[in-house]
Structure formats: structure tokens, C-alpha cells
Amino acid sequence: MQHRSILFTFLACLLGVASHAQTYSILIKGGTVIDPKNNINQVMDVGIFEGKIKKVAKDIDPKEARQVVDAKGMYVTPGLIDIHGHVFFGTEPNHYLSNGLVAVPPDGFTFRVGVTTIVDAGGAGWDSFSEFKNNVIFNSKTRVLSFLNIVGQGMRGGNWEQDTADMDPTLAAGVAIKNRNDVVGFKVAHFQGKDWKPVDNAVKAGKLANMPVMVDFGGSTPPLPLEELFMKHLRPGDIYTHAYTLLEGNIRETIVDEATQKVKPFAIAARKRGIVFDVGYGGASFNYSQAIPAMKAGFYPNTISTDLHTGSMNGSMKDMLSIMSKFYNMGMDLPAIIKASTWEPAKVIHREQLGHITEGAIADVAVFSMRQGNFGFYDKTGYKVTGKEKLECELTVMGGKIVYDLNGITAPIYLTK
């Protein structure tokens, strides 16, 4: 009888625990959810369980959650997707952005600004991708993807990136197809010759692998014409990065006529054709003299990205939120900015499972506050725009786990080891 009594007590305890089982591991409560894919822009609660978005609703009982995030007065968005960064970091001298000292380790510069996915834009080529995958992709908490450089050695800089013999579309496509989980497309950059071969070979690889191409264009004097690039060489869905740049030395054509301050007609036609215009801010690839007239004309970026590396992050670029705040202060509305930083890049890189807060989706979520104050947003020339607001990351959730909490807005706080 005594054994039976103990058994009944044990079962009762189990039933009691089950009856109070919590429905959500994390509940983000009271924030304004901005989810462009689902056309949501209102105060909602977001419940997360087992790495997925379990429920998005007006009022979810906080007693049903293990942890509750107080997001009142804040914005809740999908985790940001930076489709132009440089995270193939290493220790090799004279390797520039391919296993070199100018690229950065992703986890140190992503979660703190709400980025959960970053695409390395050409650091690795078909010949160096395995090293990038083993060293960086496998060892990062951030979701790291790759635009594979058409140059086999990747972004080594200098003569390495001028070697057209190393730009093999068949080998590049083969590596991309073999690594579809990690490679999202191909990259062309830094070529200084008067030759379309780098672009054309990248597009050939793109056709073979059914993936887009990102082009960092220009280098020759006089520059090859952008209209020809957009209309004759690239395909709809291919990406023109550094869209708002003016480089010295007449080595890259601009999309805005500096004399008339008008967006050139071929750029408008290219957008209608399906060419993707990406910010790719970088250390020298953003000018207000291009961006302001483009914004006034409604020529907004399809995607916002950083071109993150040690030079840009310590210059006028800073990070994703600094760029997003710049566009906000130039008059781009916040839902459009969030779309260009989440759902739109997800579609561009064919990762539609990311970039939204749909029930059942991967729980990559960012919580932002809009900080009030007096702020200065300057470009590489020193031209400064002032503003009263800028975005600040309060919390980042990656795959259903809190990976960054600025001010401890989660209760209770569980510190990860």
C-alpha cells in the first residue's frame, strides 16, 4: 500500500507539472510588430517555442511563457539580413577579405544590431570556399551565407582579382551547387580592366546554378557603361551593389546625374526590368550627393546592406542600424526600411524561409527602440545630415534563443554560457 501511495503521489506531481506546462519559451509582449511579408504594422505579441514562431496575436497571457520580453514602446521585426558583409576573417597577411585581417568575425558585429543572417560578399572563391566553410560558417552562431567570388582565390585584392583565367564559371557553379545550403549566388568585384568577362562568367555560373549575381562594378577609365551592364549583361534578379556611390577618378558611372540631380532614365528602366539596387555602404561607397536626390525621386534601395569590414565599421558606415537610421532621416518610412532589411533580401537570395514572423517560421526576431536625441549622420566626404531619432537594438533572438539583450528587458534573465 505504501508503494502504491508513493506511486499515486508521484503521478499527481507529474500531472500537476503538465497542467502548468508553459506554452512558449519566449513571449515578446506589447511591441509594434513590423512584418512586411504579412503586412503587419501594429501592436502584437509574439510567442516562440522550439525555435519557431508559435503565435502572433493581440494579447497572449504572459503566464504561458518561460521568459517574457517587455517590448512596450519598441518595434519587433524579423531578424535583419545583411546581404553584403565581409566575414571571411583570418590571420593571413596580404589576403585582404579572403582569410585576411580586414574581414571581421560575424558574431561580434551581428547580434548587437539585430542581424541574424549575413552574406559574405565574395570573400571566398570556388578554390577557397572549403576553408571559409570550415573556419567561419561551421563556427559561427550567426547564419553565414556566401556570394561565391567568380575569382577562384576570392577577394585577395590586387592582381589576384584581375586574373580572368581564374574566373571559371563551371568550377564556381559546381562548388555552389554542391554547397546550396551555404552559397546563395556569385560576386564580381574590383576588376579594373575594360572587359566584360568577369561579369559574363559570373552570370554563366548563375545560370548553371540558378542563383543571382552581385556586381561591385567599375574600375576602368573611362568606366564601362552602367546601362549596358543593366540591360545587356545582368538578368532580372541580379544585384547592383554600391548603388549610391560617387567614386573619384571617373572609374564608375553614377545612377544620379550630379549636374541635374536627376536619376538617370536607364536606372529607372533597369529597376523595372528587375535589377536589384543594393546599398552596400562600405568605406567609400555611399554619397549623400547620390542618395538624397535619389530618395527625393522615390528611388529607394531594394536592399540595405553594410559592406562590413574593419574600414567601413570605423568610418561613416558603422553598422546596419546606422544605415537604416540614415535612410529614415532622409524620409524613407520605417516599414519600407524594415522590408529592405528583412523580407526583400530574403527573396533576393532565395531564402524565403527567413525575413518574416509567420507562425511556423524560424524564430529570428529583433527588437528595436527609437532613441531620441541629437544625432549626426555623415558620409565619406564629411557631409552631415542631423536627426532627432535613430534605431537601437534592444534584443535579438536567433533560432528561438535570446542571443543579445541590451538592457535586460527579458524576465527572468537566463545567462547563456
Domains and CATH numbers, the chain: 24-77+362-370+389-411 (2.30.40.10), 79-355 (3.20.20.140)
Residue with cell 538624397: 292
pLDDT tens figures, 44-103: 999 999 999 999 999 999 999 999 999 999 999 999 999 999 999 999 999 999 999 999
Number of Cβ within a 10 Å radius of residue 192: 12
If one counts every other C-beta atom within 10 angstroms of the C-beta of residue 311, the result is 14
Instruction: Provide the annotated binding site.
Output: 84, 86, 187, 242, 307
d(C-alpha 367, C-alpha 116), whole Å: 12
| DSSP β-bridge partners for residue 367 | 76, 395
Binding-site residues from annotation for Zn(2+): 84, 86, 187, 242, 307
pLDDT score, position 417: 54
pLDDT at 414: 85
d(CA 225, CA 215): 14
Neighbours of 4 (CB within 10 A): 8
DSSP H or E run through 267? helix 265-273
Single-letter amino acid, residue 239: I
The pTM of the full predicted model, rounded to 2 decimals, is: 0.94
Residue 3: which residues within 8 A CB-CB, separation 6 or more? Answer: none
What CA–CA distance (Å, rounded) separates 363 from 66?
A: 16
* 206 touches 244 (CB < 8 A): no
Q: Are 290 and 261 in contact (CB under 8 A)?
A: no
pLDDT for 7 equals 40
Percent of all residues in the chain with a pLDDT value above 70, rounded to a whole number: 94
**pLDDT over 70 at 4, yes or no:** no
Return d(Cα 383, Cα 139) in angstroms, integer: 39
pLDDT at 10 over 50: no
Supply φ then ψ for residue 384, to 5 degrees. Answer: -120, 135
Find where cell 528583412 sits: 342
**Least confident stretch, 29-43, 156-170, 197-211:** 156-170
* Contact of 38 with 356, CB cutoff 8 Å: yes
Residue 407: CB atoms within 10 Å = 10
Q: Are 241 and 84 in contact (CB under 8 A)?
A: yes
Q: What is the average pLDDT value for the chain, to the nearest integer?
A: 94
